Amino acid sequence: MTFDNAPIIGSALIIIIGFLGGYTMLLRIRDHFSEQPDPKLTYARLTDHEKLGTLMAQHVRELKEEIDRFRQNVKHDHDTLRSGGLHSSGELNELIQKNTASIASLEAHCDITRQRLSELTVKTDKLIERTHR
């Protein structure tokens, strides 16, 4: 068996291996600098973006309409309050003081009720313990 073309075949193999090595290095460099994860999987398509845009515009319109309704209700309530005879700040202050006094008495009543409930709970617990013995 003679190897007459051995230097040519060896040179050709070294060149081919060099090209393949360079190609794999280029692929590795490209993978290293490529965006992770794949943009096709992470970014929205234009149709999805347009759907989201129209949905957001619809929500904004609905919220604006709701805010306008709230403004009208507040204006109506304000006009009703004005027409109800509360024209002076003295009357408003008097009403606020009455409300404050009512709230304070309700809080005191709530505290008394809580105290009575806790006493009742203690008494019922004692009765339950006596019955189970």
Parse the chain into domains and list their residue ranges.
21-84, 88-133
Among left, alpha and beta (phi > 0; psi -120 to 50; other), residue 45 is beta
CB crowding 37-49: b at 16 or more within 10 Å, else e: eeeeeeeeeeeee
Q: Which two tokens stand for residue 29?
A: 């460099």
Q: For residue range 75-120, what is the model confidence (pLDDT) as tens digits?
A: 988 887 777 655 567 777 888 899 999 999 999 999 999 999 999 8
Q: For residue range 16-46, what is the model confidence (pLDDT) as tens digits?
A: 999 999 999 999 999 888 877 777 777 778 8
